[in-house]
Amino acid sequence: MDVGKAIRKLRQGHGMTQAELASQCFMSANAVSALEIGKRFPPRSTVERICKALDVPVAYFLMACIEEEDFPEGKRILYRTQLEPLCRELISEPNQ
């Protein structure tokens, strides 16, 4: 599970810079950067602020955190055929 990658993908999918996201979440751009590169893990309150700023339900955010490697070898087809396309759709359709 990679929370930082999910933040970056969702932020970029919404056309936001780190500074813009940081401003909406009452944090510094350096703090957003640290989350995205995995130096820090966000507390629940920060995840909720990020989701609100990106207009994404927390459940969608958590799905975007899941990576293929999180699935057992024999079940990775589920990721490739179901979860990955769903995440792409969520990221490509901001504000819907």
Question: Given pLDDT bands bounded at 50, 70 and 90, which one contains residue 91?
Answer: low
Per-residue model confidence (pLDDT) at position 25 = 96
Q: What's the pTM?
A: 0.79
Q: What total number of domains does the chain contain?
A: 1
What's the pLDDT band for 87 if we cut at 50, 70, 90? confident
State the residue range of the domain holding 78.
Answer: 3-92
Confidence band of 93 (pLDDT split at 50, 70, 90) = low
Alpha helices in 1-96 (DSSP H): 3-13, 18-24, 29-36, 44-54, 58-65, 76-78, 84-92
CATH number at residue 77: 1.10.260.40
* Mean pLDDT of the residues in the chain: 87
